Chain A
């Protein structure tokens, strides 16, 4: 029933929307040129190298020319930097899941929770991220808005989700995103739920098991390839086979480690099993700098930082000798503990600077960070002592090298892919805005943070109309919870309709965003501007685009909280 309902909805919507896109395609007037010149700008061609009053000429997705002496052809798109704008190479996210859909839930039952089917336990090294890419995913835009134009992405999952790819954060379809496939195997200490391996120590045991069996199979396969006569044919086994290049060291393992403990464990496992590791995440690695140094592994450091402390609160510096004897001492104790907490928070912010001063090189990962905080966090890291040039290196040339795409990305040089940031000034200055980015030569204007209206309580029922040239489709939106913690369903009035649960429901001021799974059409993102009584906005449908939607409250008498 559930499936059938969703199916009907999707079919009808597809029908309507195909007409929409067809109409749009017929109406569209093609652009006269895709060549763009950014003139009168300061260009940071590479970390530490600034050319003032320069021009960048972008053609066919590539940087055609950069310099002060560039002849701009007639009739090209022009962006005048007015001597204030700065052009940077687009940032490269060293590791994340941007633009990656969840793997579909399996409805298979666990047959033996002590020895479950591998894919249920999160063991899918044979999966490749290319099968899960979604350029329309909101995370792509969010990251782009922070200056990231390329990313190294892996499938989501548990201990061994699959192999990664380097992608451009633009493009109309998954294939167009991919710059380099099969870059690395992704691993982490993420246990399965209610089945083996159900915790970290079992995950570690499972790594040993998988490597041990892969090694055995590889030996058998190579003997069989040499001389199959008299030998039983080895069974086909994509899972273990996917680990062969890891065993040989040809495929690096990007091991995500959340904290110092995970770091030690990954390092121990790497030494024991002998794979080629890149350590990713590394929060709290200030506690294990010696281990990082000894590992010699390439590093990708998290851009997630503890929330900014309240700097107005005056605190003494932490005094380990302060003693708490009786109640009279508890106030001083609290201040002292806060002082310690603040200094620890600062340690997290200073990690990048510490690693740099220890001579360690790293790129950055956005995986655990809130997209909206990225640029702020980069600036906090620079304020905490990481030289700006080093920060830029970690965001551009170093990840390009680590990911093997330094011929194509990382600097503003002629011949490279036109992945660029156009900013209003020095990117590490807190007052600088990113005006636009180019991905693969395509311009994306950065939508300034939307003007947020006064907060509206969206809970309750809304009658929405999805408008298409072929007619309107009605839908009912039901929201509950508190503005901080919203949930809800959407029901599209079409054939045997069904309620679909919303995900990622978020309210900022009067801007409501949410997503829902339409089944075959993929995840639909919604963005609505609300008043007390009205809603107006867009549904973004993968591979289709935006469709207008508007509506009113079903219960207009409802008052605000």
Chain B
């Protein structure tokens, strides 16, 4: 797939970007033998009465009547179903800030700097079989901040333990109403229109090129001093070098076409993923032709004008047009039942079980450049596994146990009720957050609990 030839550059970028971060505590890796399960491998069909042997956090073997070396935990999964840990390609859990909305280009910020291991939303997501999340910056800016792919290793208190080692860095772009509302409508600065959005992005790319050129000129002795340091342009230069993937929030077909052209002009088509993409179905042939993956809402629509011309069949249309499509949550609620979101693709379209499951497993893994590690049940892959009481596409399926790197991180039978990792020492044990159903906006939903530490602005933002 498209990301292979970039693995090396990503590795370099990783060293550049994260090499100086604190040495990560050794990630805990587990051993387990899961017995007698119906195993949905996603990439290799469904296997009945099958065992999965996990050693040191990886799937060592898949087969019948495997035996466990002494001391390895045996999990009886008779009558139960196992699927790959679910991957959410668009989430905002486990971070303290989402949007830096004060200017149209904020490539310099990154949510990876503000990971919050205390977010109970991580555990709640695990309780729905989710093991990996692409935690994204918000959509207030045409070019937003960098995102962070994390594994839901809940229980660890050090933010560094959550980073998905080796996952390619990504950055958030956003088109249409949100950046237009925040800047044009809110502050009377560009962009106020979709024309302005295009200009802001092209202009930022051009500035980054100028910046890189100036640095090179200095290195070659053509300038007496380097250009004024710009964290923002440093990051954008990495984007232009293909070292940081672009994940762009988008709704309308025209704006997606626009950005696809911009991306192509700057040679970034191989490191580009469309997000939300309510109208992607309208331009499925164009998207397919360029091989761009798309991550969409399952059924959210109508919450704003650019989300009105919509169909829940979006994912099915994209899949049938040969596009690597995924379903994302963009929600602390939906991330708890992604298996059910995927199941809806069988109502709004006619996807097979494997195609439906792929929407929340191998396809998002491909989109995030981590499909060599996760997204399917294969020998050698990470033992990120979700065990269900019934077929995970059934409405009656109840997640029973979730493993990350072979470590049981959710166990319906054994976990305490109160899974908080921190308690406000001055809080009230009866404190309940019950958001009223809003009087305006947010047509998409239940207005559930919002994660701690996310500021009011983020709360008011549209998806």
> Using a CB–CB distance below 8 Å, which chain A residues touch chain B?
112-115, 194-202, 204-205, 208-209, 212-213, 215-216, 220, 230-232, 260-261, 264-265, 267-268, 271-272, 284, 287-288, 290-291, 294, 306-307, 320-324, 333-334, 336-338, 340-341, 344-345, 348
Contacts and interface: CB of A to CB of B under 8 A. Distances in A.
Given A209-B230, A212-B229, A321 B416 contact: yes
B113 A334 contact: no
Interface string B218-239: 0000001110111110100000
B231 A208 contact: yes
26 contacts: A112-B103, A113-B103, A114-B103, A198-B102, A199-B100, A199-B455, A200-B97, A201-B97, A201-B145, A204-B113, A205-B100, A208-B108, A212-B234, A213-B228, A213-B229, A216-B226, A260-B422, A264-B159, A264-B160, A265-B113, A272-B20, A291-B22, A323-B417, A333-B417, A334-B430, A344-B423
A205 B108 contact: yes
A261 B113 CA distance: 10
Contacts of B111: 201
Interface residues of A, dominant DSSP: helix
B224 A230 contact: yes
Interface residues of B, dominant DSSP: loop
Nearest to A270: B22
B425 A268 contact: no
B100 A307 contact: no
Interface in B210-257: 224-226, 228-232, 234
Contact of A201 (B96, B160, B225): B96
Contacts of B101: 198
B229 A201 contact: no
Interface of B: 20-22, 25, 96-97, 99-104, 106, 108-111, 113-114, 116, 118, 145, 157-160, 187, 189, 224-226, 228-232, 234, 416-418, 422-423, 425-427, 429-430, 455
A253 B258 CA distance: 46
Contact of B100 (A112, A198, A264, A340): A198
B108 A341 contact: no
A336 B417 CA distance: 11
A209 B110 CA distance: 13
Nearest to B429: A337
B20 A196 contact: no
Contact of B102 (A114, A287, A294): A114
Contact of A196 (B22, B100, B229, B430): B100
Contacts of A195: 102
Contacts of A336: 418
A348 B425 contact: yes
Contact of A288 (B157, B226, B234, B416): B157
A53 to B, nearest CB: 44
A320 B416 contact: yes
Contacts of B229: 209, 212-213, 215-216
Interface hub of A216, A271, A333, A337 (most chain B Cβ within 10 A)? A337
Given A114-B103, A261-B116, A288-B157, A340 B22 contact: no
Given A199-B100, A201-B100, A284-B422, A231 B224 contact: yes
A197 B418 contact: no
A20 to B, nearest CB: 45
A264 B160 CA distance: 9
Contacts of B113: 200-201, 204-205, 265, 268
A334 to B, nearest CB: 6
B96 A261 contact: yes
A215 B145 CA distance: 24
Contacts of A200: 96-97, 113-114
Contact of A199 (B97, B103, B225, B426): B97
Contacts of B22: 267-268, 271, 291, 294
